[in-house]
Amino acid sequence: MPSLASVTPLLAIETSCDDTACAILDANGTVLSEALLSQESHAALGGVVPEIAARAHLDILPNLVDLTLERAGLTLGDIAHFAATTGPGLIGGLIVGSNYAKGLALSQGKPFIGINHIEGHILTPRLPSALADEGITLSFPYLAMLVSGGHCQCVSVEETGHYRRLGGTIDDSAGEAFDKVAKMLGLGWPGGPALEKLATEGDDTAYSLPRPLKGRDGCDFSFSGLKTAVSRLIEPYGKAALSHRVAADLAASFQRAVADVMADRAEHALALAPQATALVVAGGVAANRTLRARLESVAERHAIPFLAPPLRLCTDNAVMIGWAALERLAQGERPNDITIAPRPRWPLSERQPYRSSSVETLP
């Protein structure tokens, strides 16, 4: 593996949704500094408004980059490489973040790498500091379950840049279902953490809810029907506010249904990837403790480790973007992606691989 000393420190930017983030990493993947600001203005609107998010990124990013440099004790001239999320995500935010990073790279005469947001999530567990407390080094191949607000898929991670997508959502992702059900229960936005908290006070057997695709071949996901089933249970209450007991029981029953589906899909995914050295969960919904516990039980049955990044690295962050860039640079590449265009949709199967990388999809 080539030395990364000449291409670090590396500064990474993440602006794919409503979190503005910046991080600086050294050649060993050590996080020298990081900063993240979540945009609170969307809460009152019930969800992320793309135009507002893009403008906020534009306002926040310059000061956030300066803060990150200051925390690392570095100047812009010390940065040897720049990286940014180039897709998938909200196009306005992607344009702001990637163009800002490109501008910094051009001003310093340094290279720029455009990173796939999904790749960042599924490679995060390999960050040395991410598993320091576990005493484990994650080796290829491993099964990654990405469970976030906009994505839900199973990927066999063969090596950096070499991925097999085993299955994905055919409608709503798990994160979208959590947010929509939370809104139905009057919990506001973002709803995932609030729903998880409410569920601790409820009976998860109170309501019989469907487990979409459970037991079916493959490991695709579908959560739209589950979300609709919750909606129908709420309909008889009309515009009246749900009692705390009803809301808690619905939250718990919904969360259990999602966990049952995820565990079943993990079993099927491992059948498609029997050489997996570990079961990894990543993405914002990976912070859900009930989901983690169910997936951990699946891993135990298969006698492989269950691994998840620290909670702060489950949600969108710039550390994962910087680490994905380092993983690719470690392959011996010295790319300059200054012409790469932001993409709102960018499946791993369409990832522009560097030398020695490849992408596979199942037939």
Q: Which two tokens stand for residue 356?
A: 């020695």
Known binding residue 192? Answer is yes
Sequence-distant (≥ 6) Cβ neighbours of residue 262 within 8 angstroms:
145, 147, 174, 291, 294, 295
CB 214 within 8 A of CB 261: yes
Angle at alpha carbon of residue 33, lines to 333 and 113, rounded to 5°: 25
d(CA 277, CA 244): 43
DSSP lists the bridge partners of residue 142 as: 157
Known binding residue 146? Answer is yes
What one-letter code names the amino acid at 206?
Answer: A
Known binding residue 26? Answer is no
Q: Phi/psi of residue 304, each to 5°?
A: -130, 155
Known binding residue 147? Answer is yes
Sequence-distant (≥ 6) Cβ neighbours of residue 281 within 8 angstroms:
144, 145, 147, 291, 292, 295, 306, 307, 308
Known binding residue 70? Answer is no
Known binding residue 243? Answer is no
What one-letter code names the amino acid at 352?
Answer: Q
Q: Which two tokens stand for residue 27?
A: 């050649």
Within the chain, how many helices (H) and strands (E) appear?
A: 10, 11
Maximum distance among all Cα pairs of the chain, rounded to whole angstroms: 64
Known binding residue 92? Answer is no
CB 249 within 8 A of CB 202: yes
Known binding residue 117? Answer is yes
Q: Which two tokens stand for residue 2?
A: 């080539």
d(CA 24, CA 345): 26
Which residue do the tokens 């840049």 mark?
161
Provide the annotated binding site for Fe cation. Answer: 117, 121, 316
Provide the annotated binding site. Answer: 117, 121, 146-150, 179, 192, 196, 288, 316
Provide the annotated binding site for substrate. Answer: 146-150, 179, 192, 196, 288
